Structure 1
């Protein structure tokens, strides 16, 4: 996870010289993503996202915005709530203002975070790259996908199977009903076929 921290500190260095504040903001991220109730929305998820997005860095218009979105998109995560994205966007805005990030960057970041709620195609190509990277787990080999969906189940452990399975199937059908799960050629070519197979297989398991 060293690269994760170094990348974040490097990002903040573009906006503030306050080393204490930089480390406080990193500690907040680390603490939130390491919460014991989290099993999928963890620092490992951020690390995987950073790896995926670094591969397409040349296609990204604004790398700073993508990075702010990456670190803050799941910073608030409560399985009992449906406004996690909104709350995460609010906290991102608050923290970015503390280091004098421009309002233009803040607004773009908030829109990208909110886009992870539905993963629908955006008119902004950076947003499409981000939401695709966020869904890349769907296109992993079945063994890795199985670990992913079992970890998601753990995050929703408070719900009985009957309730969870109904909600989960709704989410999975949402992906299958899309024209394509992935919006960019890079992620579509790499993961689309496997993702649809995995999602269907999970529905069958449920």
Structure 2
């Protein structure tokens, strides 16, 4: 059964976005290689077992990064790197995998693929760091809160602040994606994950997201946690 979302409606515009960015970071690779990589990325995001980690999520992450760029948090170069993180951060996703292993695998794939395209080592390092950050959503334990890491952190968590109907759909998608997990274990695990965000003094790292997204995120988190605990 395919994901409950019209993936095809986003595939073409997403591929166009990828081609624009690939030309900037890997100009020598050429259009054929950009297309092959873009097609591989979209196939990954379109795997049939996915329900939440689909091209819809990718589209939302990129849109959130656009918003943060427009708000002045990211300059053009930083936004480009952040978008590359967005493309690769859930490229590998197995709901049965151990915590952190999906992000580790995705980071390895990002490093390998970007190197093969001829992307600068500094960009590859920054993309790898961004992908790994999404495992625990801790920007940097050493305190180096770069604009790229902060932007990716917030964009990946934009969904917590989504409108009520989108958040309800997100909840259903997450449950469907983890359908193999029994209800009691799912509720316990989901509660632990959401409490970690709800208990933070600050959910979002950037000034824009903190000001614009926090109130709705706390409302959504409180409502879902109340349901999980009932």
Name the TM-score class by shorter chain.
over 0.9
- Give the superposition deviation at 1:200: 1.5
Alignment of 1:141 with 2:185, yes or no, is no
Unaligned runs of 5+ in 2: 1-9
- Give the superposition deviation at 1:26: 1.0
In structure 1, how many angstroms separate the alpha carbons of the residues matched to 2:190 and 2:169? 15
In structure 1, the partner of 2:217 is: 195
- Give the superposition deviation at 1:103: 1.2
1:47-80 C-alpha deviation (Å, 9 max, x unpaired): 1111111122243142221121010000000011
In structure 2, the partner of 1:7 is: 17
- Does 148-157 or 135-144 show the bigger shift? 135-144
Alignment of 1:72 with 2:88, yes or no, is yes
Decide whether the 8 Å contact of 2:65 with 2:83 is kept in 1: no
Displaced runs of 4+ in structure 1, greater than 3 A? none
In structure 2, the partner of 1:60 is: 74
Alignment of 1:37 with 2:49, yes or no, is yes
Alignment of 1:93 with 2:119, yes or no, is no
Normalising by structure 1, report the TM-score.
0.95
In structure 2, how many angstroms separate the alpha carbons of the residues matched to 1:190 and 1:120? 20
- Give the superposition deviation at 1:17: 4.0
In structure 1, how many angstroms separate the alpha carbons of the residues matched to 2:225 and 2:113? 39
Normalising by structure 2, report the TM-score.
0.85
- Does 120-129 or 168-177 show the bigger shift? 120-129
- Give the superposition deviation at 1:120: 2.2
